[in-house]
Amino acid sequence: MQHYPLLEPMSHYDPINWQNPEFGDDAELPFTQADVFDAAARFQRFAPYLAKAFPETSATHGVLTSPLISIDAMQQQLEQVADTPIPGHVFLKADSMLPISGSIKSRGGIYEVLKFAEKIAMQETHLTYADDYAVLASPAYHRLFAHYGIMVGSTGNLGLSIGMAAASFGFQTTVHMSVDARQWKKELLRKNGVTVVEHNDSVSVAIAQGREEAAKDPHTYFIDDEGSRDLFLGYSVAGIELQKQLADNGIYPSKQSPVFVYLPTGVGGSPSGVSFGLQMMMPEGIYPVFAEPTHVPSVTLGMMTHLYDQINVMDLGMDGKTVADGLAVPKSSKIAGRVMRTLLYGSHTFDDDDIYRYLTMLADTQDIRVEPSAAAGFTAIVPTVQQFADQNVLKNATHIVWATGGKLVPADEMQRYYDKGQQLLADWA
């Protein structure tokens, strides 16, 4: 507490804005650009399979992609509410619209399932890298995969993506879900033949339980949200996708044209994977900013203290509770903070009420619906802009809010989110 003054307000659930003093320093990273391209190639090999197993991806020929949407009306509303100009242009990276799981987890979660399926198929059959992977959807492969299991611990969306993908291959699939997980996510998994084990505890406990259970069976593969390299690299492929989308909009990141990317952060795997991928594709001008709930600022806490996954928000006496189920993770992943040590520009913590306000604002201004955690990035734009004494630096800035989930949320639940946000906006006014 004495060494890091921001821990005091953090422990009292006050929103904080932390600038990373090591941003931009030289560092040796555990991954390379080649790792990102390897992951992208694997997604490409599996595209025919995905197009066949998930018809919703047939329009993109099995490529998992989401749009980059200019949100001018939302930008104007943000400026009005905050009474602060936002120099530059605001976009939404709508991973909330990704196929299969309707969230960013369609990147990392599905990727790790694909990699495991490829490994089993290569070991047990004559599949080659040059084959049409649509063959993996055949009954013969389904019978093969049924001899293997996949297990994961999750607050919701990761379990959803892994469960849907693994079940499509025929793997015996089990998802350990924390107390924060939404009921509809559990029901959707069960409907797809996935075994859901419910825990009346945090996601860290659900992960530990899943890890322990998977270790008893040599045919069961455990996907570890707290330390998986493959999850991380699945997310990193988004860097290739966004580079092209930015170029299509005439945006080429540089010091003169900075691109700020606002990412909701739970355990930290997906935002750090995305940030790494962006840095590998565009080494100059990318400024990742993490957004975390005031009650669960696990990655900010770990990075600020350099204790990373060795410190838990509960060590500060915090309750770890948030309505943003995907962000309800009391300690960061083993990978996130260490990789982001020099790549993260900063982070912002927010009150839960704010994400309801922003999701309603987004629906009203742009007719786009997202789940509460997916609106987290909006909370960080104004605090980030206000750090610059010279606003001219930002005249060519691009602000990208990463909307991480929402497509599969049932209509009645989405309406409740919207109504709550409307009520809170009225209080704001």
- Specify whether 298 is located in the same domain as 204: no
Quick check: is 341 in a domain?
yes
Helices and strands: H and E segment counts in the chain: 16, 11
Task: Assess whether 189 and 273 both reside in one domain.
Answer: no
Q: Which of 180, 195, 228 is the last residue of a domain?
A: 228
| Residue 361 maps to a domain | yes
Nearest to 399, CA basis, from 20, 15, 74, 36 = 74
Both 218 and 236 in one domain: the answer is: no
Q: Clarify whether residues 281 and 389 are in a common domain.
A: yes
**Would residue 1 count as lying in a domain?**
no
Last residue of a domain, one of 178, 195, 228: 228
Q: Do residues 257 and 339 both lie within one domain?
A: yes
| pTM for this entry | 0.96
Domain identity same for 204 and 258: no
Looking at the structure, tell me whether residues 57 and 170 fall in a common domain. Answer: no
Axis crossing angle, helix 269-281 with helix 238-248, rounded to the nearest 10: 50
Asked if 203 and 267 count as a contact pair (C-beta separation under 8 A), the reply is yes
Task: Note the helical H segments in 262-351.
Answer: 269-281, 298-305, 336-340
* Domain shared by 158 and 260, yes or no: no
Residues 164 and 218 both lie in one domain: yes
* 2 found inside a domain: no
Number of structural domains, the chain?
2
Q: Is residue 353 in a domain?
A: yes
The C-alpha atoms of residue 352 and residue 262 are separated, in whole angstroms, by: 16
Tell me how far apart the alpha carbons of residues 409 and 275 are, in angstroms, rounded to a whole number: 26
> Are residues 53 and 17 part of one domain?
yes
Predicted confidence pLDDT, tens digits, the chain (429 residues): 889 999 999 999 999 999 999 999 999 999 999 999 999 999 999 999 999 999 999 999 999 999 999 999 999 999 999 999 999 999 999 999 999 999 999 999 999 999 999 999 999 999 999 999 999 999 999 999 999 999 998 878 899 999 999 999 999 999 998 887 788 999 999 999 999 998 888 777 888 888 998 999 999 999 998 889 999 999 999 999 999 999 999 999 999 999 999 999 999 999 999 999 999 999 999 999 999 999 999 999 999 999 999 999 999 999 999 999 889 889 999 999 999 999 999 999 999 999 999 999 999 999 999 999 999 999 999 999 999 999 999 999 999 999 999 999 999 999 999 999 999 999 886
Strand partners, 393: none
Residue 77's CATH number: 3.40.50.1100
User: Same domain, yes or no, for 119 and 96?
Assistant: no
Which residue, of 228, 246, 262, is where some domain finishes? 228
- Domain of 155 in residue numbering reads as 104-228
